[in-house]
Structures are given as structure tokens and as C-alpha cells.
Chains A and B, each alone.
Chain A
Amino acid sequence: MHIHIADAYHEAASPLHRLDARVKVPVALALILCISLAPTGVFGVYVAYFALIMALAVLARLEPGLVLRRSLVALPFAGAAAALIFTVPGQTLARVPLLSWAISVEGLLRFSSIVFKSLLAAQAAVLLLAVTRFTDTLWALGELRMPRTLVGIVSFMLRYLFVLADEAGRMARAREARSASLEDRQRRSILFEARTTGRMIGALIVRSIERSERVYNAMLARGYDGRSLALDAPPLPVRDVIAGLGVTLAAAAILAVSLL
């Protein structure tokens, strides 16, 4: 078993792939900001943002269905807003049988707006990660003055999460291999399984702590003294900045129209 981390990224030769990550990251954030500022219930605006994102996806040679599918990950979170359907006061559309909860039109509008907006925001993020290697995204965040310590933490996580997942996978396999049972004996109880799993997690934590000590030694051995340093970045290409401004302006224009 070997877990790969390049899943979110889609290799392709497109203008969006070539765009400097220091442009792509803030543009994606601006796009998400505009989407979240869009007013409730103005569905034309959502369609316009959707069209913008899909146009970018096509430009990036991505399959639009992929961006759509991946954005569904936001649904459970948006689902948390479902209570609004019943709690926002307004014109009653119908009542839930038995419970007699009132479904309000305003609540329904608010809820569906939240669902659409979170889907759109997720699509913007999916698009960014599909055209930018995660290491480049991290680097860009560092260059954009996100504290180096935070960048470092995410970068260690990126490096070791999958090492850890591989290790957990090997441990699980070793357990499976020894989980023999005689035919006439009872199946192992859930409690027994839970205890084994708990022990595995404990062992994994201990191994991780040991690994962190070895990694820290490796850092010290190469002159680490507590400072997080990074190489000077190459200058930002003007063309990339203009392209980024273009997309940001388009997103802002849609928002401006919706607020008029």
C-alpha cells in the first residue's frame, strides 16, 4: 500500500497551470470572498459565478464534472444550516407532518443560498488545487506573508501524513494476518476489536513521537537553529498579475451587479 498525495492536482499544460501560484492563491481567495458576500436568494448571481468557474475549468483543461463532483464535499457542512428552513420567521409554505414544524419561504431561500454559495466556494478551492501543486500553494502562502511557522506545520503534515498512513496500513495488515480464528469459536467482540484498535493508535502515536525526534535530529544535523528560512522568490511576472486582476475584476463585477 502506498498513499499518494497528488490526488487533488491534475497535471495538464494550461494557462491556469502556468500561472504563478502567488497570483492563483489570492485570486481564489478573492473569488471565494465575492461568492460569500453575494446576497441571499439572487440565483442569477450564483449562475454567473458558476459560469465563471466553469469557464476557468475549461481553460484549465479540466473535466467540469470533476470540479462539480469534488465540490460536493461541502454539502454536509452546508447541511448544518438546514435548521434555518424552520427557524427563520416568514410566510409558511407547508408544515412537516406530525411535528407541525413550519417551513418558511424565507428560510428555504436562506438555506438554498447557503448551499449554492458553499458549493461555489468549494468549486473555487477545488479549481485552485487542481491547477496548483500543493507544494506550490504552500510556498505561495509563505510568500504572501502567512507566518512561516504555520507554513512549516502544514508542510510537515503534508510530508508525514502519508508516511503515517502507510505505517498505519502496515500495522493493520499485520493485525489482519494474525487475526486467525478457529471455526467453532465465537467471533471476536466489538469491545475486543476496539481495544486492539486503541492499542494500534497508541503505538502509532509513540512511533510518531520517536520519528519526530529523529526528524528533529536530522534538522539539527543540517544546521537548523530554530529559524524557518526560505529562498528568495523570483519576481512576479507582470502578465500573471494582469491575468489575476482580470479574474478578480470579473468576480467583483458580478458581485457589484448583484448588489445594485
Chain B
Amino acid sequence: MPPEILIDDLSFSYPGGTRALDSISLSIEPAERVALVGPNGAGKSTLLLQLNGLLRPAQGRVLIGGLAVEEPHLGTIRARVGMLFQNPDDQLFNPRVFDDVAFGPLHMGLPADEVRARADAALQAVGMAAYAGHISHHLSLGQKKRAAIASVLSMSPSLLALDEPTSGLDPRARRQLIDLLAGMSVTLLCATHDMRMAAELFERTVIMDGGRVVADGPSARLLADEALLAAHGLEHP
């Protein structure tokens, strides 16, 4: 079985010349849970955007489930990689919650019954079934985050790429979100500043700084290494 994510010598620069990713190599197995930590500007979000081809490498390659992230496979890959963006107001672009959750399966070309069934199941899974007909603008941030997760779960992804899922949440909403993620069986790759969540939820941690992977190993070991964390502007959980 090919690794869920295989990144091989990946470099990327934004127009204007900032080198955001610098020779990154990384392999993540199916069902593995990996936290991606590092200071702001380390390249975490940029790396996530490479996973479904929203950004393309300048050098190196990215494979998802053995498929290169390139034109003929983009549709398949985007169904496979569920991308949770940092700001749920960007992700929930339909007026009603249900329409957002149905958007993915609808554009995958599934029949209407299946689209409805998947949307209902996804809303159920994140505890938002009662909000299907609600207007996204009226939801709390925690509810928006969960609705956004439902909007990718409905596509049955094998990998969830999450960008700061707990930022801005109050303790209760944060706990609900962590419990929700803990119950999932898919591969998780999560960019976060929430070191306590990294320690609790992810068995493996990748530390990025300045566009490079500077450490990669079991969370228990990396997150206990105070000197390493301090060197990259991070704090012990």
C-alpha cells in the first residue's frame, strides 16, 4: 500500500520570491495522525495547499495515495484530500449549511440521493444535523468549524488536512472539536499552534521553520524536548 502522503524534495516560492518551502521530504502512512507545528510563516499552510494542487511545486513532487498531484488526477485527489481552511467563513460559501455540505459530493458527480445521504451523515457525524437549514452567518465559530469539517467529510476523504482547527475557539468548542477529530479513522495532518492538542491527539509531530522540516518524530519525544521547541519559537505543551 502506498503512503497516504509522499512528499519528495519539495520546494516552492511565492511570486515575489519568498521561498516558502525548501526541499521538504515527508512520508505519512494511512491512518497516521501527524501534527505540523512551527512559528507563523514557517510554511505550514503553504505545505497543506500543495496536497491537493491548489499550489504547485517549483521543484520536487507530491503524491497522494501513490497518485501524483497533477492534472489528470486532480479531481480524484481533491475528493481524497479533505481540506479544512483556517477561516470557516471562507469554507462555508453557501448561504445555508446544508448546501455547503452537499457541495463536495454534488461536484463529485454523485446521484442526488447519495448526495443527500452523505450530507446528512456528515452533519450527523459532527453533531450539526439540527443546523442543516440554518444560515451559516448565524452560527457560532465552533459550529462553523464543525460545519466546515462536515463539508469535507461528506466527500469521504481518506485524509484530512486541517489548518489551525482550534484557533479562536473557546475551551468547550475546542474540546468538542478535539473529541470529534479523535473519533476519526482517516489520516490526519494538522497545522496548529495548539501544542496541548498536538500532544493529546497526534502520535507524530513534524516541526517546520523557515520552509524546512527541522524535526520529525513521535510527539511524546519532540514535544518534551524544550531546547528544540524553544529554538523554533515554540512552547512546551
Q: What residues make up the interface of A, taking CB atoms closer than 8 Å to B?
A: 4-6, 134-135, 138, 155-156, 158-160, 162-163, 211, 214-215, 217-225, 227, 229-232
A residues in contact with B104, CB < 8 Å: 222-223
Asked whether A223 and B79 contact (CB < 8 A) given A138-B95, A156-B93, the answer is: yes
Also in contact, A222 and B89, with CB within 8 A (given A135-B95, A229-B107): no
Binding site for A on B (CB under 8 A): 49, 52, 54, 75, 78-79, 81, 83, 85, 87, 89-96, 102-104, 106-108, 112, 115-116, 135-138, 151-152, 155
- Given A214-B85, A214-B90, A217-B49, A222 and B95 touching (CB < 8 A)? no
The answer to whether A214 and B87 have CB atoms under 8 Å apart is yes
Q: Out of B78, B89, B95, B106, which one reaches A220, CB within 8 Å?
A: B78
Interface residues of B, dominant DSSP: helix
Say whether A223 contacts B91, CB under 8 Å: no
In contact, A5 and B93 (Cβ under 8 angstroms):
no
CB distance from A102 to the nearest CB of B (A): 52
Q: A215-B90, A227-B107 are in contact. Are A4 and B138 (CB under 8 A)?
A: yes
Q: For the complex, give the distance between the alpha carbons of A217 and B48 in Å.
A: 12
* Cα A219 to Cα B104 with chains together (Å): 8
Contacts of B52 in A (CB 8 A): 220-221
Question: A4-B137, A159-B93, A221-B152 are known contacts; what are 10 more A-B pairs with Cβ within 8 Å?
Answer: A4-B138, A134-B95, A135-B95, A155-B94, A214-B85, A218-B85, A221-B78, A222-B103, A223-B78, A224-B103
CB pair B91 A218 closer than 8 Å: yes
A215 to B89, CA, bound (A): 8
